[in-house]
A and B are shown apart, each in its own frame.
Chain A
Amino acid sequence: MKVKNFIKDVGGASRVTKARLNAFASASPALESTDPIGDVSRAWHPGPIELVVTKITPACKTAKTIRFERTDGGKLPFFYAGQYIVLDFKIGESLISRPYSISSAPFEARAEHPFVEITVRRSKGDGFICDYVNDELKVGDILTGTMGLGQFYYEPLRDAYHVVALAGGVGITPFASMAKEVVNGTLDIDLTILYGSVSSDDIVMRDELDKLDGVCDKLKIVHVLSGDEPGWTGEKGFLTAEIIKEYSAEDTTYFICGPQVMYKFLHGEVAKLDVPARRVRFEVFGQVKDIAVYEGYPRDLRDETFELTVVRGISEVKIPAKSCESIVVALERAGIRIETGCRSGECGFCRTKVLSGDYFVCPEGDGRREADKDFNYIHACAAYPLSDMKIKIPIL
């Protein structure tokens, strides 16, 4: 066996070792190594940041827009129009998180006076955080938020240039962000928003939207009222296939965000349009109102309360958990922190190991990995206890 000659061949190992030691010997002794790629990742996703409420304005008679700035006044993270922010609230003994679509635009988060806004509607009795935001939150309040989350945004390599947004009620918020970005010239799409409301005084963010409409030929906003209202000259009825078609281009991507009943209705209407599946994008479903309506849920257990043993590190605590509420809700009620994102079962932020016990997983948007299912992992925001249970969650 010979590569060059015997002496050179057998001296290889010593030669390369010398070369390596020489390289180190002549290297700088200063601590100069930097991580600019990591720095960019942190500019987009810094993790939880501290925010202060700086302005609250009515967005219609039942909703408010809350403006947040960083407590240090600095720029907010980059994000895509359509994404959401998760805000952490401490109410009494409870530690509660909620995702809200960002209603301000990405360029506003990076402006000279950077801010981010959410627009929240008072609930009809089922969302006490929405009411808290509307009634209790005040200028100067400080909370933490994690932003730039979710997949509900325009992706140029996937979506058509013509976008028809189908919005219902407060589901307008991600589209308000997109509209502002289009008008600002930083989102290059042709956007038509079909916005369904019950009555004209029920239209969330109407003033802001009307100011944007007509400013730029790439944005059109069409209000559609389902209620009968004297003097209304705009579109009437529901967001049916017929009206959607009227505003569609030959190749259109549909973005859909609104209440759960609207999703069910629009699944049917969009099917009538006969467009490929890749052209239809729904925002996540949200927390289901009543888990007991789903097939497979044992209805006789719906009013039970079980014991939930929560393991963090080498410690354990026991808390009550209602069978009709997700495990995340049980933890939040007990003041135990758990990280959540979409609260729809999809994103996996609240991925949790089940050590023992039975549970029901909401079939709406079950985003678990296959191997996770095999090893009893749940997304705790979409899993409901059906017996006493023991789970392990991260130490936060």
Chain B
Amino acid sequence: MKFYKDHYDVIVIGGALAGLSSALMLADKGLDVLVLERHNLPGGIATSFVRGGIEIEAALHEMMSIGPKENRLKVGKFFDDMGVDIDWLPVPECYHASLPGLEVTLHPGLERFSREVDEQVPGTYDKVLKLLKLCDTVFNSVNELSIHPMSKPQMLLKHEAFVKTAGYSTKEVLDTFDLPQKALDLLAPYWIYVGSGFSDLPFTIYSVLMADYVGYGSMIPKKLSHEMSLKMAERAEEMGVQIEYRQQVDKILVKKGKAYGVRTARGDEIYADYVISSAYPNKVYTSMIEPLTEVPAEATKMVNGRRLSLTAFSVILILDKPAEELNIKDYSIFRGDTMDTDVLYENLAGLGPYRYLTCICHNYGNPGVTPEGTCSFSVTVLPRVDGWKTVAAEDYDRVKHEVAKQLIDDMSDYFGVNLLDHVLECVIETPMTIAHYTGAWNGCIYGYAHTMEDHIVARLQTAEAERFIEGLEFAGAHAISGDGMGPAVTNGRKAAKNVLDDIAAKEAKR
């Protein structure tokens, strides 16, 4: 029986947000696309599952780059343009910061946020607003330059702030603002969404993070992230994309430096002009390229020269009381016993006790997400892969429970309520869980760390030279824009654009 066409224009490995974004954009341009996804549903970690009759969000805390209907940001606009109609709910706040000497809930809007910081640390309003506006300027430059590249002198003229801050770490730029420590602490909690300590985090990335989240707020889909993933997949199929689930791709077939197809675990060989891989370069260049002699030495060196960023550990509880009765008052709580991001980054290399926790109570953003009289509450740490790489299979269950217990106990102390007395359902998601369901290399969800040695500006400068195998593109957190569900969409679009540009260039030659 014949399950596949003789040939496709593009095969996309992985039907999560990046891969589906590639597929949507390519299908929109009339290309014949096949998506192969190893799981039996789309989305990767942007998914949900049902436990005890309750549907539970697997991963999404807050989606950036959406914006309100009348003023969409780039990801929201892409969904609109593609006809992917998601029921977005605004997240009511930026975060509740629970830090040494601080208990405060901050809200989106550059002025409002600055005012709220000023209420805690009087006299800082102007400086904080100036900083956030600088972030916003850099953010706008990044967005514009990603669509309209220009020469360096032109850039210096039109995007001065972007150019002049590009070579500095977040810490170096923040230092020039001469802000009191408490104000700096309130400007730091989102760091975990980009995952590097401020002395190594490019200010460019910090700018995008703050301008997007603080400037415009974030969103969640009403029917959890599965709504987003499924609507993308359904729309792609409507546009002619063939999506096949439960198909793991084992090999990418390469001949004379050019990718020409894939082989699945089932044994099907499928051919295409282009392959877009959501599998990590680490996996592709060490075991998927067939034959491996087609892997250039530079590709291996690149993989070895980059540092994997963060993975995730979450304990998700369905509790048998409404949130307010358990003293849970906010959608999101960022809690740390320090806000020194360099210290916290070191702490994430181990297996706990973890010092920086991210908590979500979905009921505050999405009323009715759990049955009457119950609530959903999750505690997440985003550790580096280093510590979890040392856990042996026979110790896995013990370690996972020890870490989960630490997280729950810590938040129980904070609320003054023993959450363990109210657990209807308890789900522990670990780096291994992520590896199991998505195949992500070492369960890493953040791709490569944003550092001064692996700077996004440098990534953009060298991107062309790093397309080592003709016809092979990468889409996922490991691609240029890095981690996050918003950037996943951007990464997918960039891979599709490379394919489209390549086709156009070849046609022009002809």
Could you tell me which A residues sit within 8 Å of B by CB distance?
1-4, 8-13, 15-17, 19-33, 35-45, 78, 110, 151, 155-158, 276-278, 312-315, 317, 339, 346, 348-349, 351, 365, 367-372, 374-375, 394-396
Contacts and interface: CB of A to CB of B under 8 A. Distances in A.
Contacts of A339: 40, 246
Interface residues of B, number: 99
B305 A23 contact: yes
A41 B166 contact: no
A12 B168 contact: yes
B499 interface: no
A23 B168 contact: no
A21 B163 CA distance: 19
Nearest to B282: A33
A16 B452 contact: yes
A29 B297 CA distance: 6
A150 B230 CA distance: 24
Contact of B50 (A3, A43, A155, A369): A369
A41 B443 contact: yes
A377 to B, nearest CB: 8
B194 interface: no
B167 A12 contact: yes
B461 interface: yes
B457 A315 contact: no
Contacts of B428: 157
Contacts of B453: 16, 19-20, 22-23
A312 B285 CA distance: 31
Contact of B1 (A32, A37, A155, A315): A315
29 contacts: A1-B164, A9-B164, A12-B167, A16-B202, A20-B458, A28-B300, A33-B282, A37-B311, A37-B435, A40-B392, A40-B396, A151-B52, A156-B401, A157-B401, A157-B420, A276-B320, A313-B2, A313-B4, A313-B242, A314-B4, A317-B1, A348-B40, A367-B53, A370-B223, A371-B223, A371-B230, A375-B234, A394-B245, A396-B246
A128 B111 CA distance: 70
B303 interface: yes
Among B164, B311, B320, B394, max chain A CB count under 10 A is at B164
Interface of B: 1-5, 40-41, 48-53, 55, 152, 156, 160-161, 163-168, 172-173, 176, 202, 223-224, 226-227, 230-231, 234, 242, 244-247, 266, 268, 282-283, 285-286, 292, 295, 297-298, 300-306, 311, 315, 320, 385, 388-394, 396-397, 401, 404-405, 408, 420, 422-426, 428, 431-433, 435-436, 439, 441-443, 452-455, 457-459, 461-462
Contacts of A8: 167
A44 B401 contact: no
Given A19-B452, A37-B388, A371-B230, A395 B246 contact: yes
A256 B304 CA distance: 51
B20 to A, nearest CB: 14
Given A4-B172, A370-B55, 12 more contacts: A13-B166, A23-B306, A24-B306, A25-B301, A33-B441, A35-B282, A37-B431, A43-B393, A157-B404, A157-B420, A314-B5, A348-B41
Contacts of A348: 40-41, 49-50
Contacts of A374: 223
